[in-house]
Amino acid sequence: MTLRPPSFAQRSKELLVGRDVARLFVRTPHLRQAPRGDGRPVVVVTGFGGTDLSLTALRGYLGWLGHDARPAELGRIGQDVPGLVGRLIDRCASVRSETGESPALVGWSLGGTLSRETARRHPELVRRIVTFGTPVEGGPAYTALAWRYTDEQIERIHELIDTRYETPIEVPITALWSRNDGVVTPEACIDRRTPGVEHVEVTSTHLGMGVDPDVWSAIAERLTTTIDP
């Protein structure tokens, strides 16, 4: 399959973001029935251009369920992926030192990439990962931001990604993706190179994933799944 950045028609699906917000209120009774957490730490990581404020509602929901939901404290997410991964590693180490538990990482878009690379480098610091709208192939090459990169930069990014895959991710991963994603090409969110990844399809737009009730439900269910031997 040849992957490309989202077409104009695909990007236009982001106009449905208001539907995602409305569905959150309609599905509130269902969300209240999600399995309860046990107080273990969860670090929530936002996507490119965002700050912790963009996922305040999701953290609040996870906290209400009984999880120790915390912001990533990375500031506004930019393009310095290596630097951000280093800071997220430090954040996970700090949480583990404070609580005695390695946190789960919940990452939106680029935040999912940061979560994956943190776990790849330090699996002992991450309990499990849940990503949504995260490009696992091509980095920005198959996103609506591809135009910001030169062909040489894209080629270099492909090479870096191939190198990363030489070291497998050893913690459980759930990847949520949507055919209505107008920012990341949907097929680029499918991880065919990491064994055991659970893929879950939702119907949200990319921008609406942070408030989509199906995304919230899937995250809540995976965070309470027993994964320890």
- Condensed to tens digits (0 to 9), the pLDDT of residues 131-145 reads 999 999 989 999 999
Q: Stretch 178-206: mean pLDDT, rounded?
A: 96
The answer to whether residue 210 scores a pLDDT higher than 70 is yes
**Cα separation, 137 vs 87, whole angstroms:** 23
pLDDT of residue 229: 40
The answer to whether residue 227 scores a pLDDT higher than 60 is no
**Cα separation, 221 vs 78, whole angstroms:** 30
Query: pTM of this prediction?
Result: 0.94
14-223: what CATH class?
Answer: alpha beta
The answer to whether residue 111 scores a pLDDT higher than 50 is yes
Q: Stretch 183-190: mean pLDDT, rounded?
A: 97
Whether 5 and 148 have beta carbons less than 8 Å apart is answered as no
The answer to whether residue 1 scores a pLDDT higher than 80 is no
The answer to whether residue 84 scores a pLDDT higher than 60 is yes
Whether 184 and 109 have beta carbons less than 8 Å apart is answered as yes
Token duo for residue 53: 């404020």
Side chain identity, residue 209:
M
What mean pLDDT, rounded, does the chain reach?
Answer: 95
Whether 138 and 158 have beta carbons less than 8 Å apart is answered as yes
Whether 89 and 125 have beta carbons less than 8 Å apart is answered as yes
Buried b / exposed e across 139-166, counting CB within 10 Å, b at 16+? Answer: bbbbbbbbeebeeeebeebeeebeebee
